[in-house]
Amino acid sequence: MHNNPLPRLDEDSEVYQRLLKHCRLKAGDIWIDPISGHRVGCIDATDSQAITSLMGGQLATLAIHDPPYNLVAFETRSVEEYVAWCKKWVSTSLRHMTEDCSLYVWLGADQKNHYQPLPDFMVMMRDFQIQTRSFITVRNQRGYGTQKNWMAVRQELLYYVRGKPVFNVEAEYTDIPKALKGYYKEVGGEITENLQRSKSDTIRAGNVWLDIQQVFYRLQENVSGCYAQKPLKSIRRIIDASSRKSDVVVDFFAHSGTTLLAAEMAGRRCFTADIDPVFCEMAIRRLEHFRASGHTGWQNGHAFEQDIAMSSSTEKQAEPTVPIQATLI
Ligand SMILES: C[S@@+](CC[C@H](N)C(=O)[O-])C[C@H]1O[C@@H](n2cnc3c(N)ncnc32)[C@H](O)[C@@H]1O
C-alpha cells in the first residue's frame, strides 16, 4: 500500500527546508483564489497593515482563530506576553468585521499552570465591546495524563458576538439519535417523556461536542506534516451556524487550511493567513487537491508528493504512532 506521510514539520527542520523551496508565497504575499475568491496571505496576524491588505476593504461576518499555544512557547514567552500578543490580533480582527459578527477562538488551558492562558485571555477579552455567548468544549478521543490525573480530553472553544449576528440553529443538530428517555412532563393531562415530545430524532450539539472525530493519520482529512489540525466537522459546524452563503470568514492561523476548505464546502469566502509559507502552501494545495479529487486531505501521502521524494528512512520515522491532534500546541 502507498504510504508516504510527512513527519511533523515542527520536529523535522531538514524536511521543512526542502518544502520551503516549493512554496509559492513569501512573507507579505497574498494568493487570491481565481475560482471562489478565497485569499491566503503569508502574514503575521499581528501585522495590522498586512491584514488590511489581505482584507482589501471587505468585512468578515465570522472569525475562527486557532492561535499557536504550547508549553514550549511559555519557555520564551510569559502568559502576560502571550495574552498581549493575542490582544493585538483580536483587535485587528474586530476592525475588519461587520457590526453584527461572531468571533470564535480555540484556546488551550494548561493543567499544570493555572489553566493558562485561558483565564487571562478571557479577562483580556473584557476590554473589547463584544459579548460572551458560549464556552464550547470539544471532546477528543485520545487524551493525556492518564496515570495520575483525570485524562485530559477537552479542547476549548470560546464564542463571542458583537451586535446581533446570524445563528442558524439547524447547524446545531448532530446525527446522534435521540436515545435516552426521561424528562417526564404532563401534556394534555397525560404524562409524556421527551422522545414523544421532541420535534427532532437527533440531539443538538449543545456546548459540549461529543461527535467530532479527532484528526489522526488514518483519516482521509489528515494533512501529514501538520501537527495541530482541527477536524473539518467542527469548523463546518461553526461556519454553518454563524454565517450565510457568500459571507467572508477570516482565520489568521491557517496551518492545514481547515477553515479554507470548510468555507469552500459551505459556499463562503475565506480570507486566511499564516506566518509560515509552508503552511500557506499546504492550505492552498489542500484546497486544490479537494477540487481535483474530492479528497479532504492525504491519508497516506502528502501535499508535496510531486515535489519531493521522501527517503525510506524518513518515511519510517514519519509514520505517526499517536494521533497528530493529541499534542497541545
Ligand atoms: C494551531 S495552528 C492552526 C490550526 C488550524 N486551525 C488547522 O486546522 O489546521 C497555528 C498556526 O498559526 C501559525 N502562526 C504562528 N504564529 C503566527 C502569527 N504570528 N501570525 C500568523 N500565523 C501564525 C503557525 O504557523 C500554525 O500554522
Q: Please report whether residue 2 resides in a domain.
A: no
Chain-centre distance of CA 265, in angstroms? Answer: 15
pLDDT in tens, 164-182: 999 999 999 999 988 777 7
66, 253, 272, best to mutate for ligand 1 pocket (most atoms within 8 Å of CB): 253
- Residue 296 CA to ligand 1 center (angstroms) comes to 19
Q: Please report whether residue 234 resides in a domain.
A: yes
- Sorted by sequence, the CB contacts under 8 Å of residue 221 that are 6+ apart come out as 215, 229, 231, 232, 296, 297
Pocket of ligand 1 (CB under 6 A): 44-46, 66, 68, 226, 228-230, 252-253, 255-256, 258, 273-276, 279, 329
In this structure, what CATH number is given to the domain that contains residue 146? 3.40.50.150
Alpha helices in the chain, H assignment, sequence order: 13-20, 48-55, 73-76, 79-95, 118-125, 194-197, 232-242, 258-266, 277-293, 312-318
Mean of the pLDDT values across residues 277-281? Answer: 98
- Residue 66 CA to ligand 1 center (angstroms) comes to 7
- CA Rg value for the chain: 21
First to last CA, the chain: 31
Of 175, 195, 158, nearest to 67 by C-alpha is 158
State the closest ligand 1 atom to the C-alpha of 253, by its place in the atom list counted from 1: 12
- 8 A C-beta contact, residue 223 and residue 229: yes
- Residue 68 CA to ligand 1 center (angstroms) comes to 5
70, 104, 275, best to mutate for ligand 1 pocket (most atoms within 8 Å of CB): 275
* Residue 47: predicted pLDDT: 98
pTM for this entry: 0.91
- Residue 252 CA to ligand 1 center (angstroms) comes to 7
Confidence of residue 70 (pLDDT cuts 50, 70, 90): low
Q: Please report whether residue 183 resides in a domain.
A: no
- Residue 197 CA to ligand 1 center (angstroms) comes to 45
- Residue 46 CA to ligand 1 center (angstroms) comes to 12
- 8 A C-beta contact, residue 110 and residue 73: no
Which protein residue has the closest C-alpha to ligand 1 atom 7? Answer: 229
Q: Please report whether residue 190 resides in a domain.
A: no
* Residue 272: predicted pLDDT: 98
* Nearest-10 Cα torsion for 318, 322, 326, 329: -20
* Residue 314: predicted pLDDT: 47
pLDDT in tens, 193-243: 877 777 788 889 999 999 999 999 899 999 999 999 999 999 999 999 999
Which protein residue has the closest C-alpha to ligand 1 atom 25? Answer: 276
State the closest ligand 1 atom to the C-alpha of 69, by its place in the atom list counted from 1: 1
State the closest ligand 1 atom to the C-alpha of 258, by its place in the atom list counted from 1: 8
Q: Who wins on pLDDT, 173 or 313? A: 173
- Residue 123 CA to ligand 1 center (angstroms) comes to 23
- Residue 253 CA to ligand 1 center (angstroms) comes to 4
What span, in angstroms and rounded, lies between the C-alpha atoms of 162 and 38? 24
What span, in angstroms and rounded, lies between the C-alpha atoms of 242 and 230? 18
Confidence of residue 327 (pLDDT cuts 50, 70, 90): very low
Q: Please report whether residue 1 resides in a domain.
A: no
Mean of the pLDDT values across residues 102-116? Answer: 94
- Number of domains into which the chain is organized: 1
Which protein residue has the closest C-alpha to ligand 1 atom 15? Answer: 68
Mean of the pLDDT values across residues 58-72? Answer: 88
Q: Please report whether residue 198 resides in a domain.
A: no
- State which residues form the domain around 308: 13-164+213-326
For cell 481535483, the residue is: 292
Q: Please report whether residue 178 resides in a domain.
A: no
315 pLDDT above the threshold of 60: no
What single string gives the DSSP state of each residue in 255-276?
A: TTTHHHHHHHHHT-EEEEEES-
Mean of the pLDDT values across residues 47-73? Answer: 91
- Residue 67 CA to ligand 1 center (angstroms) comes to 5
State the closest ligand 1 atom to the C-alpha of 256, by its place in the atom list counted from 1: 9
Q: Please report whether residue 54 resides in a domain.
A: yes
State the closest ligand 1 atom to the C-alpha of 252, by its place in the atom list counted from 1: 21
Which protein residue has the closest C-alpha to ligand 1 atom 18? Answer: 44
* Residue 4: predicted pLDDT: 75
State the closest ligand 1 atom to the C-alpha of 46, by its place in the atom list counted from 1: 19
